[in-house]
């Protein structure tokens, strides 16, 4: 009786087959927990958050070679996540403050990551695929925008 070659463990001189490329695995391991925290904040539901992050990683994997050739893979991945979570977040309650509606998407994401989730400017920039100075600028402009909206609202009250 001969054994099917595919069912045998790899020989020492062979590499074990990988389900995903090493770079993709590393990227996913590095970003999965912060992505889940972000998705949970935006959707207000752990099940929808997990589903949206899973869908985002599936979409990212489908485009992985193109993503690696892009100018900034982290930014490309963040855009996929942001869009996927936004679609999932449309269904059901959303406990996050509603003020980000006056902010740009990038401002709102910087505020969510840095202020709501407590991530450093460095980690926020890494997740969003941008420079730390850009995150600082987004946070400052978000504060000015939110401050202006709050000031106008209090004058009307």
**What CATH number did the domain enclosing 144 receive?**
1.10.10
Closest CA relative to residue 36, chosen from 102, 84, 95, 108: 84
At 57 the pLDDT is: 97
At 39 the pLDDT is: 96
What is residue 100's DSSP assignment?
G
Residues 84 and 31 in one domain: yes
On the question of pLDDT at 120 being above 70, the answer is: yes
Region 9-33: mean pLDDT is 73
Range of the domain at 72: 19-96
At 16 the pLDDT is: 39
Residues 121 and 151 in one domain: yes
CA-to-CA dists, residue 101 to 33, 135, 144, angstroms: 25, 18, 14
Domain boundary at 44, 72, 96, which? 96
At 54 the pLDDT is: 96
The residue that leads in pLDDT, 28 or 99, is: 28
Does residue 155 sit in helix, strand or coil?
Answer: helix
Contacts of 59 (CB under 8 A, 6+ apart): 80, 84
At 102 the pLDDT is: 81
pLDDT in tens, 33-58: 999 999 999 999 999 999 999 999 99
Neighbours of 116 (CB within 10 A): 16
At 92 the pLDDT is: 53
Does residue 103 sit in helix, strand or coil?
Answer: coil
Residue 9 covered by a domain? no
What are 95's two structure tokens? 């406990």
How far is residue 24 CA from its own chain's centroid?
A: 15
């Amino acid at each position: 009786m001969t054994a099917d070659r595919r069912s045998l463990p790899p020989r020492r001189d062979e590499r074990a087959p990988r389900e995903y490329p090493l770079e993709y695995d590393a990227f996913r391991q590095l970003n999965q927990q912060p992505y889940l925290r972000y998705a949970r904040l935006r959707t207000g539901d752990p099940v929808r958050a997990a589903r949206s992050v899973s869908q985002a990683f599936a979409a990212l994997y489908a485009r992985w070679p193109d993503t690696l050739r892009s100018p900034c893979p982290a930014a490309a991945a963040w855009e996929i996540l942001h869009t996927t979570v936004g679609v999932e977040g449309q269904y059901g309650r959303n406990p996050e403050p509603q003020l980000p509606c006056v902010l740009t998407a990038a401002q709102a994401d910087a505020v969510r990551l840095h202020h709501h989730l407590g991530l450093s400017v460095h980690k926020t920039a890494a997740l969003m695929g941008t420079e730390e100075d850009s995150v600082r600028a987004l946070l400052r402009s978000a504060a000015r925008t939110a401050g202006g909206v709050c000031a106008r609202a209090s004058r009307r009250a």
